[in-house]
Amino acid sequence: MEHNTAFVFPGQGSQVVGMGKDVAEKYPVARRVFDEIDAALGYSISRLCFEGPEEELKLTKNTQPAILAVSAALHAVLEDHGVTRRDLVAGHSLGEYSAIVSVGGLTAPEAAKIVHQRGAFMQDAVPVGTGGMAALIGPTVEEARAICEEAAQGDVVSVANINAPGQIVIAGTKAGIERAIEVAKKRGVRRALPLPVSAPFHCELMKPAEERLRPVLDEASLKDLWFSLVSNVDASPIGTATAVRNALLRQVASPVRWVESVQKMVSMGVRRFVEIGPGNVLTGLIKRIDPSVELINVSDVPTLEAFVAKGNG
């Protein structure tokens, strides 16, 4: 069977104050998603999305449910218009939860509660200021791994996100990351810059968060998916509740294999990617992974209406 369209959902870093506001004001179905998530969390994530302050929105435990809420609200409007013809779904890190909501694995409020805890666990796993991440622009995955190995010196430093050809994010201890930036420059890497994140995601240092997330995911009422999800950890399609639970757990301390995930979807026949959520980070990455595919971005009322008008055909 040919898979023509994939819906993909963004992760942390796509947040911006004001996101989702126009959609919630225009579409009652979107407003309802925000209301349900607010009720599930016991505080107003919608107000943080719409009004900020940015400092609060940037806290990982808030960022994760906030981005999920916006993605779920946009997707609910597409569903309401009957515009959800897709063959596969995927999400970048946290976006995997939005993807799972979109294909019936969890409700939006259930997922928001999990990612709120996930964000807090990830934040708590490493004391603030002792871990970090950096972007390396230019090297291959092998070169990035070699840089990490040379820089480690007993510290954790490893590849965390393989985002696009020549765009790799590494994570580890603060000292390890600082050494890695020096090693990268010494080896002639085009750019090596620290990222403004609050914790070193997707590396061994996240194991404590993984352990704390395990009982939360065990208790979650995950259901089998209506359409396959191409998972971050294995870059392969999964669909059962058991496989999804396993992938979400392993994802916390494992690298995000985004390049391979996109290539896998293309190999399965995907010719069109629709990014649903704030910003257009994934659209930019996918363009660099495969310039031949069609890219559509659904992030606010104008882009949503343009996609609905096309009729998803």
Whether the CB-CB separation of 66 and 45 falls below 8 Å is answered with: yes
pTM for this structure? 0.96
Judge if 228 and 245 occupy the same domain: yes
Regarding whether 156 and 22 lie in a shared domain, the answer is no
Question: Cβ neighbours of residue 139 under 8 Å, at least 6 residues apart?
Answer: 147, 166, 168, 184, 187, 189
For the cut 90, the answer to whether the pLDDT of residue 199 exceeds it is no
Quick count: other Cβ atoms within 10 Å of Cβ 24?
Answer: 24
Q: Among 171, 197, 223, which residue terminates a domain?
A: 197
Tell whether the model's pLDDT for residue 128 goes beyond 90. no
pLDDT of residue 187: 96
Provide the CATH number for the domain around residue 263. Answer: 3.40.366.10
Amino acid making up residue 251: Q
CA angle at residue 283 from 44 to 210, to 5 degrees?
55
Q: Are residues 188 and 209 in the same domain?
A: no
pLDDT the model gives residue 136: 97
pLDDT over threshold 90, residue 182: yes
Domain boundary among 197, 228, 244: 197
Indicate which CATH number applies to the domain containing 155. 3.30.70.250
The pLDDT of residue 198 is 76
216 and 101, same structural domain? yes
* Stretch 148-164: mean pLDDT: 97
For the chain, give the mean pLDDT.
95
Q: Does residue 3 register a pLDDT over 80?
A: no
Q: Considering Cα of 56, then 59, then 65, then 71, what sign does the dihedral take?
A: positive
> Once rounded to an integer, what is the mean pLDDT over residues 71-99?
96
* 184, 284: one domain: no
Element (H, E) at 219: helix 207-219
For the cut 70, the answer to whether the pLDDT of residue 60 exceeds it is yes
User: Is there a contact between 189 and 183 (Cβ–Cβ < 8 Å)?
Assistant: no
| pLDDT bucket at 2, cuts 50 / 70 / 90 | low
pLDDT at 36 over 90: yes
Same domain, yes or no: 214 and 162: no
Are 29 and 146 in the same domain? no
CB neighbours of 157 closer than 8 A, spacing ≥ 6?
A: 148, 151, 170, 171, 172, 173, 176, 177, 179, 180, 203
Nearest to 39 by CA among 101, 108, 109, 106: 109
Show which residues are catalytic.
93, 202
Which of helix, strand or coil describes residue 137?
strand
Q: Examine the domain organization and report whether 95 and 227 are in the same domain.
A: yes
Count up the domains in the chain and report the number.
2
Q: Is 188 exposed, middle or buried (0-12, 13-18, 19+ CB in 10 A)?
A: exposed
Are 176 and 192 found together in one domain? Answer: yes
Q: Report pLDDT digits (tens) over 232-284.
A: 999 999 999 999 999 999 999 999 999 999 999 999 999 999 999 999 999 99
Express as a percent the part of the chain with pLDDT over 90: 93
Q: Are residues 43 and 185 in the same domain?
A: no
Chain CA centroid to CA 265, Å? 17
Contact call for residues 158 and 170 (beta carbons, < 8 A): yes
Tokens coding 273 = 């990617």
Strand pairing report for 88-91 and 157-164: unpaired
* 15 and 100 share one domain: yes
The pLDDT of residue 13: 87
Alpha helices in 252-297 (DSSP H): 258-267, 281-289
Question: Please, which pLDDT band fits residue 312 given cuts at 50, 70 and 90?
Answer: low
In a shared domain, residues 11 and 102: yes
CA torsion sign, 138 to 144 to 150 to 154?
Answer: positive
Supply the pLDDT for residue 280: 96
Picking from 151, 181, 197, the residue at the C-terminal end of a domain is 197
Q: What is the mean pLDDT of residues 278-306?
A: 97
> Which residue bears the tokens 């390890």?
176
Instruction: Provide the domain limits for residue 176.
Output: 131-197
Structure tokens at 164: 């696009």
What one-letter code names the amino acid at 76? A
DSSP run (H or E) holding 18: none
Residue 313 has pLDDT above 60, yes or no: no
